Structure 1
Amino acid sequence: MKKIGVFVDRWMSGGIESYLVSNYESMDLTHLDIKIITTRKFSDIYDERLKEMNIEIIELLKEGKDSELNRTFKSRASFKQVMAEENFDVVHLNIYNGVSLSYSKLAYKLGVKRIIAHSHNSMIGNVRLKQLKMAAHTIGKVRYQKYITDFWACSDLAGKWLFSSHHEKNIRLMKNGINAEKFTFDKNKRNLFRKKYALEDDALVVGNIGRLNNQKNQIFLIDLADNLRNKNIQFKMMIAGEGELKEELEQQIKDRNLENNVCLIGTITDTPTFYSGIDLFLLPSLFEGNPIVGIEAQCSGLRCYFSDKITKQLKIVESSEFLPIDSTDHWVEAISRTAYIKCDRPKMVKAVKDKKYDIKDTSYEMNRELLV
């Protein structure tokens, strides 16, 4: 039995959490004892699924709000205590930047022989004290890589972001797998979604899923909706998710009189139904590692428009396009050009499987790697 300590800075309901839980559910855990370690636990959405797999979450700090730098400093003692008590064979660090690489040193000093750093991001957003955070990232990136034994990344950009060029040949691409069958287009789910939100069968519905924050750039979508309406394009825009930008988005929708065009539908638990219910998927993010929602949307046969700031490794089907986010004009033109082009949506799942993004392939690879 191998003991695996899986670190995630904050346990929420985002892409890393979905990635880990979905892979574990598809893995043979017979010879793995997994514990998840997090500075703070903000969501219980995965609790039941983890309980069924006998996977425990260890929370290092009490509830509170602070920066990642502060959380890292405050959680050092608790992290070291967990390392000493658990005696892990492997520590798997799922991280966004070089600051969190400091946990590798703590694990190394307490005798962990194998330390995996897994990069899930490609940039720092336009946040307060950005220059300071970039400096901390760079210092951490240089200072702590000597404690890493395995270099994992979800994309080429994520690898370049976290690891120096010295380790370029050592970086292992770990694809963000999904349950491809689960996200196959379903006509019945489409009808249920459209009925729930009173959408006409032939209405053009565009959608987005993600945390409502600066990185995901949903403000861009409000600008886009305004311009689509000004071009007399009939549409509905469904934006799913919660986050710190919610109030600003609501105000923008109200100020621009877009209530009949744009709907904020909050957190959704049935994402396959969401994808089946819409016609186009929009992801104007400022940066990403390799967004799982983009893979899910393509699997559902959606025509997808992605920000050109995202890794091109996200492209799985030919119809997907990468567009600049300096102006909504590119997006208006693309939607106008392709909105009503029909395709055989259920067949798109094959492309996902062919490119090894199915959870069966990614979980097998992770299982094999952890047992080495």
Structure 2
Amino acid sequence: IPPYQHVFAYQRELRRLFCQEGWQIVQSHINALSVFPLHAAKNAGVPVRIAHSHSTSGKGEYAKNAVKAFLKMQANRYPTHRFACSQFAGEWLFGKGADFDVVYNAIELDGFSFSAEARAKTRADLGLVGDQFVIGHVGRFTTQKNHGFLIDVFDQVAKRRDDAVLLLVGAGEAEASVECLVAERGLAGRVRFLGQRADMPDVYAAFDAFVLPSLYEGLCLVGVEAQRSGLPCLLSDTITREVDVSGECLFLPIDDSLVWADALCGSEARVDTDRAAVGDAPFADYDIDRQAARLAEKYLELLRKAG
């Protein structure tokens, strides 16, 4: 299938594929851009067409936001049903009062439980010394994730705490520019770029605090993962409070780096026994086994009704 930027070829090939395979359900996860595949699905006669909202919009991305605003006007035209990863994301794409199901992104709960053994091993593997204060961030290097602001925050933290280290997990087109900013601030060596990781539960265990100053998020599943690992979480106040599973997330403004630095320097690293005490009950909606079963039941229900 051609990339969606080639709109007409993209829709033509999708329609051909949908007709050829005869699929009864097409579910699109590309937010406002779902207009295009679901238009093709409708033309191919697919009876169940689901638009799934995973994101919103934020300050600064003017051109992208203009396109999103235009496409949102068609968001309810082609789907027969609507899903969203949060109430906030659903209302953003489909409108307040629209009929949609919240289907939370899910994780393997046991996999993200804190392990003191994993913490010690991972910190040793990363070359962390003693009780260094480790601030962690997980996210693609894009404008949305607001890495420049995060470096501003850590610059202030580093001036107050000699033991502070910032670990950045992820990859993306803006990584090189962030590396340059780190060098300009004289923070090379104290800000570490870990790239993509396949051992995220262990990496979370190595953190002492988790930060996510995103310009916008549909929900931010990494915040749920971090909470499951027992971490104190500092999130931007543009993120929906629905992500606050533990009831202990701190939501801070993204126009004041000093507030973030104060919060980080005012908090102490969690004791291992405290982090191990995170219970399952608050995370029930994010249990992948439970959500997979619920989604399967929903598909069967929709097929019966389309019938």
Which of 120, 136, 139 is residue 70 of structure 2 equivalent to?
139
**Kindly tell me: are residues 288 and 72 of structure 1, through their superposed partners in 2, closer, same or farther at Cα, counting changes over 3 Å?**
farther
Which string of whole-angstrom CA distances, capped at 9 and with x for unpartnered residues, describes residues 130-181 of structure 1? 34x44443333233513211111111221122103352xx111111111010
Structure 2 unaligned segments of length 5 or more: list them. Answer: 302-307
Which of 1, 16, 20 is residue 85 of structure 1 equivalent to?
20
Superposed CA RMSD: 1.8
Which of 213, 222, 225 is residue 284 of structure 1 equivalent to?
213
Which string of whole-angstrom CA distances, capped at 9 and with x for unpartnered residues, describes residues 78-128 of structure 1? 11111110111111111222x33132222112111111110000116634x
SS state at 2:235 partner:
strand
Q: Is the 8 A contact 2:137 2:167 kept in 1?
A: yes
Query: What is the match of residue 175 of structure 1?
Result: 104
Are positions 1:363 and 2:292 aligned together?
A: yes
TM-score (norm 1): 0.76
**Kindly tell me: are residues 339 and 171 of structure 1, through their superposed partners in 2, closer, same or farther at Cα, counting changes over 3 Å?**
same
Shift of 1:287: 0.4
CA distance in structure 2 between the partners assigned to 1:367 and 1:319 by the alignment:
32
Query: What is the match of residue 304 of structure 2?
Result: none
- 1:1-372 matches, within 5 Å, as 60-61=1-2, 70-97=5-32, 99-123=33-57, 126-127=60-61, 130-131=62-63, 133-165=64-96, 167=98, 170-232=99-161, 234-340=163-269, 342=271, 344-353=274-283, 355-372=284-301
SS state at 1:244 partner:
coil
228-237 or 212-221, which deviates more? 228-237
Q: Is the 8 A contact 2:91 2:97 kept in 1?
A: no
**Kindly tell me: are residues 224 and 139 of structure 1, through their superposed partners in 2, closer, same or farther at Cα, counting changes over 3 Å?**
closer
2:43 maps to a residue whose letter is: K
| Count of aligned pairs | 300
Query: What is the match of residue 305 of structure 2?
Result: none
Percent of residue pairs bearing the same amino acid type: 31
Shift of 1:198: 1.2
1:103 maps to a residue whose letter is: P
CA distance in structure 1 between the partners assigned to 2:226 and 2:66 by the alignment:
35
TM-score (norm 2): 0.92
CA distance in structure 1 between the partners assigned to 2:249 and 2:70 by the alignment:
37
CA distance in structure 2 between the partners assigned to 1:260 and 1:205 by the alignment:
13
Structure 1 unaligned segments of length 5 or more: list them. Answer: 1-59, 63-67
**Kindly tell me: are residues 185 and 71 of structure 1, through their superposed partners in 2, closer, same or farther at Cα, counting changes over 3 Å?**
farther
Q: Which has the higher strand share?
A: 1
Q: Is the 8 A contact 1:153 1:172 kept in 2?
A: yes
